[in-house]
Amino acid sequence: AVADSLARARPTDLVHLDRRGGVRSRARSRALAGMYWGLLSVLVGAEAWLGYEAFGVPGLSIATVLGGYVGWFATRFATLRRATRLTVSGDPAEAEARARRVAEGRLVPRRLRAQAWAVAGTAAALQEAPERALTHCRNSLRLWKRSPRALARSTRYGEVLLLTRLGRTAEAREAWTTLGDEVPAGEYLRLRHHTAELYLAFVEGRCDLDDDALHERASFALGLGPGAGLLALLAWAFERAGDDEMADLLRTEALDRHPGELLSRTMPDLQAWLDGEDPVRARVADAAATDDSDAELPWPDEAKRRRAR
């Protein structure tokens, strides 16, 4: 299904994005799509009329070729739309295959290919193949280049999340730095921004956000339907800050809105934390033991790690 807002969206719902990275209503999206395809139809019709007026029947051949290309483009667009729906509500393997057919197709416009690689990356991540997902994501970014479009920025956040998921935190931190500190105005990109920011902090084992910043992010996340991942990350951050009451509240909210395998496949270490484990802490401890370091690990006492199941 397609939601009109993030507040009403379920974890498996899709949304349409506007230029700022906010959520556009279905009615407005349908109207814009109708205008777009209507304009293409008018252009084909105008080309047919001009060709016929100038060259007679042979002049219609140009319009025929142009119309054929528009029709073919429409099929590629429909294939990608179907792949996008399958990523969260069906079969991610089939979604990846469909998206790759569009991305690797000949004569496909650059923007559509960039979107297709991004969808393929999301589908690969849901199959627990982060290396392949990162390859697809970077294929998309090479096509987007420095585009300011919302989908391009969302893909850049995806790169940070995938690098973090793979434990390549130095690369993830570098990619995050290139995005800048400015928080996007649109709610969807804002969700992606805060999630990437806190997931990187979670895997690094430290959070530098102050209390006001954490409460601002918590207020935003509590107003979202599909914000389970961000809520869980905020629960961890508040626990790190010693605010157990807020941590328990946010953890409970995250579990109530839990998207099932969507979270465990894309951020398995965060899922493990929700389940009462702590793979990141264990990894930091192992690294410290390997380095034979006596430095205190940046983690709270176990007594503070209450798990309301």
Q: pLDDT tens digits, residue range 54-94? A: 667 666 676 676 677 667 678 888 899 899 888 887 789 99
Q: Are 52 and 88 in contact (CB under 8 A)?
A: no
Tokens of 145: 């280049």
pLDDT at residue 305, rounded to an integer: 40
What pTM was computed for the model? Answer: 0.80
How far is Cα 102 from Cα 198, in angstroms, rounded to an integer? 33
Whole-number mean pLDDT of the chain? Answer: 82
How far is Cα 112 from Cα 84, in angstroms, rounded to an integer? 13
Q: Are 223 and 187 in contact (CB under 8 A)?
A: no
Low-confidence residues of the chain: pLDDT under 50: 293-309
How far is Cα 119 from Cα 116, in angstroms, rounded to an integer? 5
How far is Cα 257 from Cα 4, in angstroms, rounded to an integer? 18
pLDDT at residue 59, rounded to an integer: 67
